[in-house]
Structure 1
Amino acid sequence: MNQKKQLSILEFSKLTGINRDNLRFYDRIGLLKPEIRGENGYRYYTRRQLGSAYLIGGLRLLGVGIEDIRRYSAGRTPEEMLSLFAEQEGHIQAEIARLRETSEIMRQYADMAREALRHGENEFTVAERKRERIFLCPPFPAARDEDEAEIGAYEYAGSHGINLGYPMGVMVTREALLSSNAPPVYQYYFKTGRRGNAWKPAGTYAVIYGRSESRDTLDIYRLLELIRAQGFEVNGNAYGEYLLDDLAVQYPAQYYGRVEILVKYG
């Protein structure tokens, strides 16, 4: 089969997927020099150099730096290859885990937005919820500044290796809901799935939707009144979450939330 022995930089670029600027850069640093330089200064590559080009492209795809590739290319051995690949496999698995976590966070926000669009302002409903894993932060006194408390929750979760992109919520215990002697104590949580340290239990929840610029002022007390009026009893904690926040809307006044309380029939 008659094959062309020389490849222009344009042809070599098309075959390897390495753009011409990068090929010129690889030439300057001695990583991949064209085998032939024409009298007119044009670069020409040979078929023998395709393997080296694909090697460089593959290593760059793995995230290997230029200097590391240059050292490896200058003295490659099976042992060096195995060592390099083992190191890069660890990086690849970590990146896969990061991408999966990012995908999970995006799915959560999308599900929450769809829920917000299905329910109107001040809508009351009763819903069955599955058990949900959450990362629960320590409680903070109601008298503490809300901004300070929320920042503290982010700091606490971050110090425990939690991805702070997960949606956040606020929990009020059943005991606090039923007590009239003191303002409730709040606990922030993150919807972390498998990485949680606590459970939001499965069961029947009374739910109310509405706008609020503050997670902990979502209408818990109005919901308690509706629960009693519907013949339910409080059977667990209250959970408040933004379904739409600054990721989805332009202004805080447009924030849209949900508060729900585990209940049972009286």
Structure 2
Amino acid sequence: MDKNKTEVYLTTGEFARLCDVNKRTLFHYDEIGLLKPALTNEKGYRYYSHRQLDVFLLIQILKDLKMPLKEIRSYLDNRTAGRMIEMAKQEILHIDKEIAKLQENRQVLEETITFAEEGLAARHGEFRLEDQEEERLIRSGVIADGDPRAGYLEWSNDFRKFDQLTQFDASSFIGTMVEIRNLLTQDGSAVYYFVKTNSNSTNLKTFTKPKGRYAVGYHHGCYDKLDETYIQMFNYIGELGLTQGEYAYEEYLIDDVAVKNPEDYVTRITLEVR
């Protein structure tokens, strides 16, 4: 075997250990013409140059990025410095999209933990007063009384479009905002969906939840019995000599994502008081 004295040659086993892969991977790459040994002696033994390590690492990176082996081979067969730059820039765009998606998923999971832990710690029938800071909300239009599902679908579509533009500026969890006036009657309280946001965009349907004092309580159980908790909260507010404000905010800490039985749902209710 004629070895170039400026090269370091490794057996298939040595090169496989250096690359942290099984020898069968190298055999497969050789068979499909993706990465052939630098030398093969008269007995058929394969030898890889240490310079091929960078090529192997690039192959693994492109594989991790879901590039098909045929495309990787095509790039390697026709590689130039210009094509390398073009390919790298394109893959960086893909990586950035994946990072953004992973960060979004992480945010959803972190919020899920926060909500669920608060829900598990919440005690039924206990209420408290809180001084809360101003919050900016992205708010839907009024949900149609006759078909709240249609209102929700319209809002969800709008929210998804917004979410694609702002990525991490808004909470992932949709709550319900209810006009307290006539809440316990059928006289048409306005109902909206909302998410909390830090975005300063002026192109959104937003509402500012005012800084002030709020009564906070937790409803345990299915949503069709929310009125029972509202009555208890109104009685609590009255006993303190306070009156109801304009809106109530419902946030679903534990719902059908976490539990099967609706009786195990936990909803946080925040009532504006004066």
TM range (shorter): 0.7 to 0.9
One-letter amino acid of the counterpart of residue 103, structure 2 = R
**Counterpart in the other structure of 1:5:** 9
Find the aligned partners of 1:248 and 1:259 in 2 and give their Cα distance.
Answer: 19
SS at match of 2:243: strand
How many angstroms does 1:239 deviate by? Answer: 0.6
Correspondence for 2:264: 254
The question of 1:263 aligning with 2:273 is answered yes
Instruction: Tell me the C-alpha RMSD between the 2 structures.
Output: 3.5
Q: Does 1:116 align with 2:119?
A: yes
Map residues 1-266 of structure 1 onto 2, 5 A cutoff: 5-8=9-12, 10-20=13-23, 22-36=25-39, 44-144=47-147, 147=149, 149-161=151-163, 166-175=172-181, 177=183, 182-191=187-196, 193-194=198-199, 197-198=205-206, 199-214=208-223, 217=226, 219-264=229-274
User: What is the Cα deviation at residue 138 of structure 1?
Assistant: 2.1
Specify the code of the residue in structure 2 equivalent to 1:7.
Answer: T
CA distance in 2 between counterparts of 1:113 and 1:25 reads: 48
When residues 216 and 137 of structure 1 are mapped into structure 2, their CA distance, relative to the original with a 3 A threshold, is farther
Distance 1:180 1:217, change over 3 A: closer
CA distance in structure 1 between the partners assigned to 2:220 and 2:182 by the alignment:
23
Compute the TM-score of the two structures, normalised by the length of structure 2.
Answer: 0.77
Q: Is the 8 A contact 2:171 2:197 kept in 1?
A: no
- Separation of aligned partners in 1, 2:190 and 2:101: 34
Tell me if the contact between 1:130 and 1:202 (Cα under 8 Å) persists in the aligned partners: yes
Aligned pairs, how many?
A: 261
Amino acid at match of 1:81: M
Runs of 4+ in 1 over 6 A off after TM superposition: 38-42
Distance in structure 1 (CA, Å) of the matches to 2:247 and 2:225: 14
Instruction: Describe the SS at the equivalent of 1:32.
Output: coil
Determine helix, strand or coil for the equivalent of 2:247.
strand
2:234 is aligned with what amino acid?
Answer: L
Shift of 1:182: 0.9
Q: Distance in 1 between matches of 2:271 and 2:43?
A: 79
Tell me if the contact between 1:205 and 1:262 (Cα under 8 Å) persists in the aligned partners: yes
CA distances 1:180-212 after superposition (whole Å, capped 9, x unpaired): 671323212234554875244433210111213
TM-superposed CA distance for 1:233, in Å, is 2.4
TM (normalized to structure 1)?
0.79
User: What's the CA shift string for 1:56-96, capped at 9, x where partnerless?
Assistant: 12333445443332222123222222222222222222222
Q: Secondary structure at the match of 1:33?
A: coil
- The code of the aligned residue for 1:231 comes to G
